[in-house]
Amino acid sequence: MSRPIPAALAMLAAMAVSILLPRASVAQPLSPAAAQWWADVSALADDANQGRMTGSPGYMRAADYVIGRFRKLGLPPAGTDGYLQSVPLVQQIVDQDASGATLTGTSGTQVIAVGSDMLITAGGGPRPGSVNAPLVFIGYGLHLPGQGHDDFAGIDLKGKVAVVLGGGPADISGAIKSNARYERNRGLAQRGAVGVISLTTPKQVEILWQRQKLLARQPGMYLADTALRETRVPFFTATFDPEKSQELFAGSGHSFAELVALADASKPLPHFAMAGRLKARIVARRSQLTSPNLVAKLPGSDPRLAREYVVVSSHLDHLGVGAPIKGDSIYNGAMDDASGVAAVLDIAHRLATGKRPRRSVLFALFTAEEKGLLGSRYFASHPTVPKRTIVADVNFDMPLPLWTLKSVYVPGEAESSLGADLRAAAGPMGIAVVPDPMPDRNVFIRADQYSFVHRGIPALFFKFGFAKGSPEFDIEHAWRANRYHSPSDDLAQPGIHKEDAVKLDALVTAVIERVANADGRPHWLAGSIFGKK
Ligand SMILES: [Zn+2]
C-alpha cells in the first residue's frame, strides 16, 4: 500500500512524462487476448451471477456464458449431457448458534462458545449429532512413516477427538505434508478417532478469524457417493480461534504458546493426552442437490495420440451471497476463480486457432471447488473419457496477476516430467521458475489439480511467482488479508495486470503443446510419493 502522492506533485510528474514520452504516456489499448480475458472475467464475476454458488441459479448463468464461449470457439462438448456433467452432492448447514459444546477438565466444566471461539466445519462428510470424547494432542497430525515422521504412531485414538496444529517438519517437502493433511481425517477415522480439532498458530492465519466466523455459516457440501467422502462415517471436525486455543490446554502440562513457538520453527511437537473432555451437540441440516462440471474438447491431430487427453482446468464456482462486509454481500470471486476460467478460455482460443496438437485437449471447469474440490474429485473418479487416456492436468486457481510476470511457481513441478516441459517452455519466454514461497500454505492440495494427482495423473498448478521479502510478497499478503474469500474480490479491485495474465496463458499453452505433442506420456519422477497411487 503506497502512500498517496500529493496532487500537485503527481500532476508535475504526469506533465514531465507527457513531455518526455508523448506516445508512451497515452494509455495503450489492451491486446485482443487481454481484452477478451478481462471481458470473460467481467461477465463471470458480474453481480448478476450472485457469486456463482454451487447449485445456484447464478452458477447456472455463469455456466451458460461458458457454454456460449465454448460454442463460439468451435469446441465440441465432452460432458455426459452435452457440455454438462452433473455432480450429485449433499449440502450440510451447521447451525452454529443451536449447537453447543463444553470442555470438562481438572478445574471443572466450561462452556465453549460455538460459532465464536470454536467453529464446527460443515464439509468433508456428515457431522455426528453429538460427540463426547477425551482430547489427545497429536502434534502436526501427519502420518508419514516413509519420511520418518508419524504423528499417529503409538497413540490410542479410539473414541478420541484428535487435536492438531498446522505446519510440519521443515525437512519434509510441502507437497508431501499437504498429501498427509489431505489423508488425515480418513486415517484418524480408520484408527477409531471420532473427530479432529485443527488449530493454527497466529502466524499461519490466512483468513482473519472474524471472517472465518462468517464463512462457517455457509453451507458445506460433500459428494453423495460415500466412497468419495473424507470419511465414510460421521466425523466431528472443528477449528479454534488462535486467541482462545490456550483454553484447550489448561491442566495438560503444556501451553499453546509453547507449541506455537515450536510449530513456527518447524520443530518436533510433543504428543500427550489433554486434561479436557469435549462434549458437543451438533445441529445440522442436510439436503441433496446437483451441480454440473463443464467439459469441452479440442480433438487432437494424430490418429493414435488423439485418443489421449491433456486436461486444462479451473473452477467455475465461488462462495455466492454471504455475510455483508462494508455493505457488500456478493462474493464475486473475480480472481477466485473467474480469472482461471478466463485463462482456460484464452488457452482454448490459442490452441484452437494455432497448429492443432497431436493429443486431444479437454477443457474442464469444475463445480464445488470451494466446498472441498468436489467437482474435480467426482470428475477424476468418473472421467467423461476413459480414465487411463488422461495424461496430465494443468490447473488455474487464482494465478493472481497482481504484478509484472517475471516468474512462476508451479506446485507439482518437482514431482513429474511435466517440470521439464515447464522449464523448456519458460526459458525462451524469459520467465523464471521459482520455488513455492510459502510451502506450508498447502496450495498443492487446495486446488483441483490435486484430484488428478490423487488418481495418479501428473499435474501442475500455475501461480505468479514472488519471493519472501519482495514488494510482490507484500501485495500478495495484503490481497489475501483483505480480498481473499471476501466480497471485495470483485471487478472494482485495482492492480490487475491483464497483459501479464495472458502472458501466463501463453506460457501454459506452450507447456500444453509440448506435452500434447510428445511421443511419450508424462510420468512421475522416481522418488515422488504420488507415483505410487
Ligand atoms: Zn477460493
Mean pLDDT of the chain: 93
Q: Where in the chain is the domain with CATH 3.40.630.10?
A: 32-90+288-464+496-532
Which of 18-32, 93-107, 189-203 is least confident?
18-32
- The Cα–Cα gap between 427 and 420 comes to 11
In terms of phi and psi (left: phi > 0; alpha: psi -120 to 50; beta: otherwise), the region of 431 is beta
Residue-level pLDDT at 72: 98
Instruction: Give the pLDDT score at 26.
Output: 60
Q: How far is the CA of 485 from the centre of ligand 1 (A)?
A: 6
Global pTM reads 0.85
3-state secondary structure 170-208: CCCCHHHHHHHHHHHHHHHHHCCCCEEEEECCHHHCCCC
| Ligand 1: centre distance to CA 3 (Å) | 30
Measure 171 CA to ligand 1 centroid, in angstroms.
28
Which residue shows C-alpha cell 502440562? 253
Q: Are 384 and 295 in contact (CB under 8 A)?
A: yes
Q: How far is the CA of 254 from the centre of ligand 1 (A)?
A: 35
Give the range among 127-131, 216-220, 497-501 with minimum mean pLDDT: 216-220
Residue 5 in grid coordinates: 502522492
Ligand 1 mean position to 447 CA, how many Å?
9
Question: Do the beta carbons of residue 490 and residue 328 sit within 8 Å?
Answer: yes
How many Å apart are CA 201 and CA 12, to the nearest integer? 47
From the list 274, 26, 257, the residue with the least C-alpha distance to 134 is 274
User: Per the omega criterion (within 30 degrees of 0), is the bond before 337 cis?
Assistant: yes
Residues 395-405: what's their mean pLDDT? 97
Cα–ligand 1 centroid distance for 371 (angstroms):
9
The Å distance, Cα 155 to ligand 1 centre, comes to 35
Q: How far apart, in whole angstroms, are the C-alpha atoms of residue 170 and residue 77?
A: 45
- Within 8 A by CB and 6+ apart from 375, the residues are 54, 87, 291, 293, 315, 317, 366, 367, 368, 369, 448
Q: Is residue 175 very low, low, confident or very high in pLDDT (cuts 50, 70, 90)?
A: confident
Distances (CA, A) of 360 to 299, 303, 390: 5, 10, 10
Report helix, strand or coil for 126. coil
For domain 32-90+288-464+496-532, say whether CATH 3.40.630.10 is its number: yes
At 532, is the pLDDT very low, low, confident or very high (cuts 50, 70, 90)?
low
Q: How far is the CA of 321 from the centre of ligand 1 (A)?
A: 14
CA proximity to 317, closest of 11, 63, 516: 63
State the DSSP H helix or E strand holding residue 508, giving kind and residue range, or none if neither.
helix 498-517
CA of 533 to the centre of ligand 1 (A): 26
| Ligand 1 centroid, distance to 184 Cα (angstroms) | 21
Q: Which residues make up the CATH 3.50.30.30 domain(s) of the chain?
A: 96-282
Q: 40: which residues sit within 8 A by CB, 6+ positions away? A: 69, 338, 341, 342, 345, 346
Strands (E), 299-386: 309-315, 320-325, 328-331, 360-366
Candidates 133, 95, 159; CA nearest to 279 is: 133
Least confident of 197-211, 236-250, 281-295, 432-446: 432-446
Architecture of domain 96-282: 3-Layer(bba) Sandwich (3.50)
| Residues whose beta carbons lie less than 5 angstroms from ion ligand 1 | 336
Distance 201 CA to ligand 1 centre (A): 21
